[in-house]
Amino acid sequence: MTSFDLTPQKREELLGLLLGKLESYYADTDALRVSPPLDIEQIQTEVRELFESSGSELEATNTLVEKLKTFSVHTPHPDYFGLYNPRANFAGILSDIITAYFNPQLAAWSHSPFAAEVESFLIKEFGQRFGYPSANADGVFATGGAEANLTAVLCALKHTHPDYAVNGLMGLNKRPLVYCSHESHHSIVKATRMVGLGSDSVRNVAVQSNLTMDTEALSQLIQEDLDAGHQPFMVVGTAGTTGTGAIDNLSAIHSIAKQYNLWFHVDGAYGGSAIISNRLKPLLKGIEHSDSITMDAHKWMSVPMGTSMFLTQHPNILSETFSTSNNYMPKDAGGLQIVDPFNHSVQWSRRSLGLRVYLSLLFFGWDGYEEVINHQTDMGEYLRTSLTKNGWAITNQSALPVICFTHPEYANDSEFATYITSKVVKSGLAWVSTYPVQGTLKVRACITNYSTQKSNIDHLVQLVNDAKIEYEK
């Protein structure tokens, strides 16, 4: 019979090879192209040929790492200025190795009590940082902002419609509606589709010139929907929009939510981590009044992908929304004052996510994280200043390190931004994207990497300057 364990000698040999190659990649990421050529036929051929090869375990492991190194956008690269995909800190990487070995199952508390309590502890810690009372702070780790936002929609429905968990949408006689800005993340739309509300239940609120939600328009839209016989139940404020880093007026949204008795959720998947920085924390004023918060630790906290949190100051809402009875889950903790995680989450069987954040905080502490977040913010300001000095125009207003820009001569030319971005990405020397601001595509650059320095930003500015010259030829 095949031994999945392999022999101790083979394990040691494979680990030696793998750790050496991974350390080389981690130490020298900046020597690689940021992005690969995207030849789909070649990549599909490489996948098939590796699968059909009859090499040894060592050869398979070595080749797999090499293929990933060749055919990946290297988000850990300091010249990656793209989406919110940072370089993972080493503590987070170590925690993933530990988790893979122990393979804790967080459905039942009694199976992995230490890992489960780590997550409960962190939820309390983050809840209090956001201003939730300690006695009320609750939540759950999630695989990403989309799952956390889905959790928010489900909790909001249960809170505003107490019989929803039993009767579902069939028990409602009015159409439930969710409100968020035109700049909000599309996971809200996806969540409404998943719960059966449909995308038409999402009301997109107009934004102001700074791309934050127009709260007067929000109030007007809610009133119009009430007059039409609908039932508003939830409003989502965004703390750090994906495209431009805009932070909605959370205090004003809270006042409106309170007036109309709506669940107030803050999607702080990106900008929520600003709560760690004393300098940036004031930007989140009003978040302490929210009913729930989404925060992705895999963004500014630089832990491996798929580490998000849903936080709430309604301590019973998760159990009321997700609790089920069954005959097969372990009853070892039946007499203890605990809630099994499977009764507290969208997920059932799941791996530990909190260990990534826990070990990182053990290594670096809150002060270390504040330093890193402030550094990235400083690098964002340096990029704004450098671009302006070189004649470029900044087209978004954000204190976060998300910069959208174009050249004044081509302010209304989407093709210009597309050309600049394509030229930079195809060079393999950096990675940027485009985003529509006020109806026209702009170049978008975001500082996502704690190791990005002024020299990397100088390099990016030179690349876009050179691309502009070529565009004008």
- What residue ranges do the domains of the chain occupy? 8-74, 104-350, 365-471
* pLDDT number for residue 48: 95
* pLDDT number for residue 211: 96
The span from the first CA to the last CA of the chain, in angstroms, equals 67
pTM over 0.75: yes
Domains 104-350 and 365-471 share a fold: no
Buried b (16+ CB within 10 A) or exposed e, 236-252: bbbbbbbbbbbbbbbeb
* pLDDT number for residue 110: 81
Token digits for 58? 């060592």
* pLDDT number for residue 171: 82
* pLDDT number for residue 323: 83
Mean per-residue pLDDT pooled into runs of 10, the chain (473 residues): 87 96 96 93 95 90 95 96 94 96 88 92 97 96 95 95 85 92 93 94 96 98 97 97 97 98 97 98 98 97 96 95 68 63 83 96 98 98 98 97 97 96 97 95 97 98 97 89
Fold of 365-471: Aspartate Aminotransferase, domain 1 (3.90.1150)
- Backbone torsions φ then ψ of 44, nearest 5 degrees: -65, -40
Q: Would you tell me which CATH number, out of the four given (3.40.640.10, 3.60.130.10, 3.40.50.300, 2.40.128.280), belongs to the domain 104-350?
A: 3.40.640.10
Is residue 270 within 8 A of residue 300, CB to CB? The reply is yes
* pLDDT number for residue 429: 97
Residue with tokens 């009913």: 291
